[in-house]
Structure 1
Amino acid sequence: MGMSQDNLRGFILALLSSGFIGASFIIKKKGLRRAAAVSGVRAGYGGYAYLLEPLWWLGMVTMIVGEVANFVAYAFAPAILVTPLGALSIIVSAVLAHFMLKEKLHQLGVLGCVMCISGSVIIVIHAPQESPITSVQEIWAMATQPAFLLYLGSVIVLVVLLILYFAPRCGHTNVLVFTGICSLMGSLSVMSVKALGTALKLTFEGKNQLVYLETWFFMFIVATCVIIQMNYLNK
């Protein structure tokens, strides 16, 4: 079965997003290193000198471009198609890190890149057609089902536990702590971005969704998740 026009648009935007986001990680890391060399305090230990580093801001702009493309992709294609393609940013980062940061890409890293590509190809080939959504309230109805509320509560508890207990004790020695916070919040931001993107798409089509409180709530969730993710991603 061929890919629909909306899915194709979402696919292309997701690929562009992965390229920009993958490159942004490397640019920001170079900026963080440069800022740490000047100030003597790394971002992971509370330093914020990187906010005065132009290279870090270039990385931020690159990431914003990628995130905007990703946001629009969610408006056209189902999350099950767009989200896995985000893994391709890992490959972009790995390749650029090898050449720009002089970090070695070992055999396990190469194997991981191959698995990312293979998984993305399988997802793209078998991506389902998305059921048409006529209102943001439909998404809200799905988001307030007991199963999802249980998941939401579990994520919030885990994030609070990681931030308040594990981050101060072993956040700087165990990469899984900060990564876990970003990943858990990312799972919520993905769903909220999909809802917000769909709401804006419907609004541009003449079905105003900005009159619904649910649209603004999803916007608040997206902003909250992004702020938390950016803070711990820089650590």
Structure 2
Amino acid sequence: MANGSSPAAALNVTSSQPHRAQILENPLRTYLLGIIISICGNVLISISLNIQKYAHVRQSQRGSKPYYTSGVWWCGVALMGLGELGNFAAYGFAPASLVAPLGCVSVIASAVLSVVFLKETVRASDIVGGTLAITGTYVLVNFAPHTTIHITALLVQYYVMNWHFLLYLALEMILFCILLYLYKMRKMKHIIIVMLLVALLASLTVISVKAVSGMITESITGQLQLIYPIFYIMVVVMIASCAFQIKFLNQAMKMFDATEVVPINFVFFTTSAVVAGIVFYEEFEELALLNIFMFLLGCLLSFLGVFLIARNRPKIKLQNPNCISMDKIPRRSHTDKVQPEAQTYGSLAAKLMCNTAGQTDDT
């Protein structure tokens, strides 16, 4: 009788609390695999960014062909795709609230590689910021949720229908509409407004990416999940949110300096991803209060480290291939003040004059 009633009791537990039945028994190996994949992916992204930047500088100096004809640039693009694929896979093995903060690894690696590839100088803020970011990452890894969940289609459907997620989604949509109204209709081009739009979209991106990655992983290692409509719904949400996120992020890069966009985007994106993991995937449900406090402390250290690294980064000025640098003209002592006269050269003056904005007088 005891053996016969046990499956029925287990079935009742599974029906009433389907998310409990999907939790693994603290699979440390799977958890560490997600961390390693995420770190490797972020390092590849930082390498690709520096390679692409190097290709832009080299092509601008040569002034012969567009940057997209360079094999070095395409190599950087390939590494970028590989790194993003690694981040995508990491969501299938580790909690979303941990994978997102590990993005600071990309900032640290980029600062180191820029010294090697682009010959940028090492500043005191780089050393302090790198130390804080590494310390924060170590704290994050140790105190983040260590519970891994089998992401199945039925589990994703269960999470989608939770009342707290529906409330969170409604509040997010209302806030997004308000910010979009201020940005588009009232022409308020403040960096906080633009980056909040990116962060709100990033929240949906993190939720959908982890759902898609988890269902693909479960389909490979366990039961096929690609036959459920929720999988394709999440794919559409992932693509749409990524596309609009990139759109607003590019607009922010056009309007503001990268030293402002990079740290603010990292802070907002990480916060959005952590909140999404808490609300949708309930990753902090059984986490001790000390772990929560230390996790937030690790996030704070990472935020501060990224801010110090990105602050006042040296800029590389690209030479316009259609300009003749005025300091190349012989017998000119104050070349920054010399320009071709428009009356003589007509429309050719625009092609011959270099932009001297930001230069100071030597006299």
TM-score by length of 1: 0.75
Structure 2 distance, partners of 1:100, 1:160, is 42
Partner AA of 1:202 in structure 2? E
Change (3 A) 1:224 1:37: farther
Change (3 A) 1:163 1:23: farther
Match of 1:205 in 2: 221
Contact 2:42 2:83 in 1 (8 A): yes
- The answer to whether structure 1 residue 216 and structure 2 residue 232 are counterparts is yes
Unmatched 5+ residue regions in structure 1? Answer: 40-48
Change (3 A) 1:144 1:164: same
Where 2:97 maps in the other structure, the secondary structure is helix
Structure 2 distance, partners of 1:60, 1:233, is 18
Contact 1:136 1:198 in 2 (8 A): no
Match of 2:211 in 1: 195
- Structure 2 residue corresponding to 1:22, chosen from 41, 46, 68: 46
- The answer to whether structure 1 residue 185 and structure 2 residue 194 are counterparts is no
Where 2:100 maps in the other structure, the secondary structure is helix
98-107 or 118-127, larger mean C-alpha shift = 98-107
Report the count of equivalent residues. Answer: 223
Contact 2:27 2:147 in 1 (8 A): no
Unmatched 5+ residue regions in structure 2? Answer: 1-25, 254-363
Partner AA of 2:114 in structure 1? A
Match of 1:6 in 2: 30
Structure 1 distance, partners of 2:164, 2:140, is 24
Change (3 A) 1:133 1:26: same
Match of 1:89 in 2: 106
CA offset at residue 30 of structure 1?
A: 4.2
CA offset at residue 89 of structure 1?
A: 0.7
- Answer 1 or 2: which has greater helix percent: 1
Change (3 A) 1:85 1:154: same
Change (3 A) 1:186 1:27: farther
Percent sequence identity is 29
CA offset at residue 106 of structure 1?
A: 3.7
CA offset at residue 223 of structure 1?
A: 1.4
Change (3 A) 1:32 1:148: farther
Match of 1:125 in 2: 142
Contact 1:17 1:86 in 2 (8 A): no
* Aligned residues: CA RMSD: 3.5
